């Protein structure tokens, strides 16, 4: 059984803005469903004015490691890494990741774009692009694919399938352009305007403490 790491709980979703904040890294992520159907260039041009950029390989590797510990990926990872859970074990980090960042393709067996329903139970999936490379002048992007635990019926028997996640650093050539079922992983540093500033009462308290300390020193000097 693979336990959901506590660090994944550090990713907090603001449903109003569709922004996921990770205080531990000082970064914010835009929910993947906000960029589904956009090409990488379109997503960047749409959101870069607010500081968003395409997530790097290292940033996606950290995200993957946070949700699927004890898997730890080196920053220069150049292959494919997969996580496969155990059906019915009560742990589903893929579900937690999808609920936080959004389902781009299917949610609860319903196609997000078309509304069509699959003959599967509780099937949810997302695909997201990240990183970049150039090969022969073509822009290529890496991908993360996740699918939740689900069940289906066959021959009067209910069959279960475990959750899965695949982080692919081999340049997913088929998704350079926009696709309604694929999101773009955008990340930015937490804006300085959102970093809490010392309150007025706190600063006043520090001033009073300094005043008391100064007066005590003066009294001791006269004694």
Q: What gap in Å lies between CA 135 and CA 129, rounded to an integer?
A: 17
Residue 84 located in a structural domain: yes
Residue 41 located in a structural domain: yes
Residue 1 located in a structural domain: no
Q: Which residue has the higher pLDDT, 29 or 83?
A: 29
Number of domains in the chain: 1
Q: What gap in Å lies between CA 142 and CA 158, rounded to an integer?
A: 35
Work out the average pLDDT over 20-37: 94
pLDDT for 46 beyond 70? yes
* Model pTM score: 0.78
pLDDT at 211: 47
Range of the structural domain that residue 65 is part of:
6-222
Residues 6+ apart with CB under 8 A from 85: 2, 91, 92, 93, 94, 149, 162, 163, 164
Provide the pLDDT confidence category of residue 45 given band limits of 50, 70 and 90: very high
Work out the average pLDDT over 96-105: 95
pLDDT for 6 beyond 50? no
Angle separating helix axes 93-101 and 57-67, nearest 10 degrees: 130
pLDDT at 72: 65
Is the CB of residue 159 less than 8 Å from the CB of residue 151? yes
Q: Which residue has the higher pLDDT, 108 or 204?
A: 108
Residue 38 located in a structural domain: yes
Residue 137 located in a structural domain: yes
Residues 6+ apart with CB under 8 A from 89: 1, 2
């Amino acid at each position: 059984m693979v336990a959901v790491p506590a660090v994944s709980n550090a990713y907090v979703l603001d449903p109003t803005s569709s922004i996921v904040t990770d205080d531990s890294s000082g970064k914010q992520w835009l929910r993947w469903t906000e960029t589904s159907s956009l090409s990488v260039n379109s997503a960047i041009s749409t959101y870069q004015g607010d500081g968003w950029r395409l997530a790097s390989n290292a940033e996606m590797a950290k995200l993957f490691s946070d949700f699927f510990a004890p898997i730890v990926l080196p920053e220069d990872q150049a292959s494919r890494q997969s996580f496969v859970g155990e059906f019915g074990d009560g742990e589903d980090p893929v579900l937690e990741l999808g609920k936080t960042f959004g389902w781009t393709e299917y949610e609860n067996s319903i196609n997000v774009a078309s509304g069509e329903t699959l003959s599967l139970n509780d099937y949810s999936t997302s695909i997201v692009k990240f990183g970049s490379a150039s090969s022969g002048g073509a822009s290529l992007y890496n991908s993360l694919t996740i699918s939740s635990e689900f069940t289906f019926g066959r021959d009067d028997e209910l069959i279960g399938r475990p959750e899965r996640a695949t982080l692919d650093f081999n340049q997913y050539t088929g998704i350079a352009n926009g696709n309604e079922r694929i999101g773009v992983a955008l990340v930015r540093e937490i804006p300085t305007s959102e970093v809490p500033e010392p309150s007025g009462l706190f600063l006043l308290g520090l001033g009073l403490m300094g005043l008391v300390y100064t007066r005590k020193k003066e009294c001791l000097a006269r004694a």
